[in-house]
């Protein structure tokens, strides 16, 4: 009886242990791991099938599991820095544990891996975009004339502009996209901010990442833009847009917003406008704080 009680208690405790699983999302990463003898899988499809079975089993047992992208290059660097043997399941476990505290993860919610993987990849791209944008702001350093931190000043300005955009927007579900062009590639950030019954709902991490990318555009004076789509039941969707300018946003006219949405970005050819959509000039954001640096 005591033995049975011990087993029962351990099962109860097992359900309270959270875990993270590192997932090789694509064939390229999977092939990179096959160089290690301790990695026993030789087919990516089979690997994903067994991984999904493990996730489902843990869920049925009541265990909470988060999923992270396992990057073989990052893993090799981690082993080199920590002196671990990369050809070891123990090293892979330690790397995955590090991912749980430093990298993007999403909770396993019972979805098939085919549906969960795109979400995980999107989360990893979003995290990498924020890291790169934050590094760009940090490298700007201090103003040669007044000593103010240029990156911090740009972030403060971007925060003010985002608040003004949300405060002046019509109520509804807001979908914002900010893009900043420049080498080596375009940075894109997305923010969902819904105003439901006068109560703002947004993801703080999304808002922080969005503000960081906007700040990069303001600080570096790179070409870019910001668009917002607002949806409300029973009304046409409303789309507003702005061009990025040094320390500010320049509103697009309704015609410019229409042209931007109804022109193919690659071919330049006109495409049919969406039905039940109004292309609008944005509300006045007000002057707000002036440009941080006019020296």
Instruction: Kindly report, residue by residue over 204-246, the tens digit of the pLDDT.
Output: 888 999 999 999 999 988 889 999 999 988 899 999 999 998 7
Residues 264/271, Cβ–Cβ less than 8 Å: yes
3-state secondary structure of 260: helix
Residues 6+ apart with CB under 8 A from 217: 178, 180, 187, 224, 244
Residues 165/285, Cβ–Cβ less than 8 Å: yes
The pLDDT of residue 268 is above 90: no
Tokens of 284: 């006045």
For residue 3, the model assigns a pLDDT of: 52
Residue that the structure tokens 């894109």 belong to: 188
CB atoms within 10 A of CB 100: 15
Round to whole Å and give the CA distance between 291 and 156.
11
Alpha carbon separation from 23 to 43, 86, 87, 141 (Å, rounded): 14, 16, 17, 37
CB atoms within 10 A of CB 96: 19
Could you read off the pLDDT of 133-161 as tens digits, one per residue? 998 899 888 877 777 888 899 999 999 99
Least confident of 98-102, 163-167, 290-294: 290-294
Percentage of residues in the chain with pLDDT exceeding 70? 88
Q: Which of 27, 32, 56 is nearest to 43 (CA)?
A: 27
For residue 50, the model assigns a pLDDT of: 92
Tokens of 266: 């690659």
Averaged pLDDT, 248-274: 82
Averaged pLDDT, 121-130: 87
For residue 16, the model assigns a pLDDT of: 54
Alpha carbon separation from 288 to 79, 164, 236, 250, 282 (Å, rounded): 49, 9, 30, 13, 16
Round to whole Å and give the CA distance between 257 and 260.
5
Q: Which of 109, 253, 241, 132 is nearest to 188 (CA)?
A: 132
- Cα angle for residues 106, 109, 111 (degrees, 5° grid): 105
The pLDDT of residue 117 is above 70: yes
Q: Model confidence at 78, in pLDDT bands (50, 70, 90)?
A: very high
Could you read off the pLDDT of 22-75 as tens digits, one per residue? 999 899 999 999 999 999 998 999 999 999 999 998 888 888 899 999 999 999
Q: Which of 156, 151, 124, 153 is nearest to 139 (CA)?
A: 151
Residues 6+ apart with CB under 8 A from 158: 211, 212, 214, 215, 218
Round to whole Å and give the CA distance between 290 and 280.
26
CB atoms within 10 A of CB 295: 6
The pLDDT of residue 292 is above 50: no
Residues 235/212, Cβ–Cβ less than 8 Å: no
Return phi, psi of residue 18, to 5°: -80, 150
* Stated pTM of the model: 0.76
Q: What is the mean pLDDT of the chain?
A: 85
Tokens of 47: 């690997």
Tokens of 196: 């439901």
For residue 1, the model assigns a pLDDT of: 46
Burial class of 80 by CB neighbour count within 10 A (0 to 12, 13 to 18, 19+): exposed
């Amino acid at each position: 009886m005591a033995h049975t009680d011990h087993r029962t208690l351990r099962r109860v405790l097992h359900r309270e242990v959270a875990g993270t699983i590192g997932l090789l999302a694509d064939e390229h990463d999977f092939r990179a791991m096959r160089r290690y003898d301790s990695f026993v899988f030789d087919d990516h499809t089979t690997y994903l099938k067994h991984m999904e079975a493990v996730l489902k089993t843990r869920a049925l047992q009541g265990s909470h599991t988060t999923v992270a992208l396992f990057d073989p290059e990052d893993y090799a660097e981690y082993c080199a820095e920590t002196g671990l043997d990369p050809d070891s399941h123990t090293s892979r476990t330690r790397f995955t544990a590090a991912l749980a505290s430093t990298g993007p993860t999403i909770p396993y919610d019972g979805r098939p891996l085919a549906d969960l993987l795109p979400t995980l990849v999107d989360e990893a791209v979003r995290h990498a975009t924020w890291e790169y944008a934050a590094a760009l702001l940090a490298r700007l350093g201090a103003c040669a004339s007044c000593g103010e931190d240029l990156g911090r000043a740009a972030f403060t300005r971007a925060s003010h502009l985002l608040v003004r955009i949300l405060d002046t927007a019509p109520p509804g579900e807001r979908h914002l996209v900010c893009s900043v062009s420049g080498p080596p590639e375009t940075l894109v950030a997305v923010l969902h901010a819904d105003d439901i019954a006068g109560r703002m709902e947004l993801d703080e991490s999304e808002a922080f990442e969005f503000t960081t990318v906007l700040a990069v555009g303001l600080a570096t004076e790179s070409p870019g833009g910001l668009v917002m789509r607002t949806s409300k039941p029973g009304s046409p969707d409303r789309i507003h847009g702005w061009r990025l300018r040094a320390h500010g946003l320049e509103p697009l006219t309704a015609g410019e917003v229409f042209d931007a949405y109804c022109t193919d970005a690659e071919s330049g050819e006109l495409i049919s406008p969406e039905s039940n959509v109004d292309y609008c000039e944005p509300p006045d954001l007000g002057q707000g704080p002036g440009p941080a640096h006019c020296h």
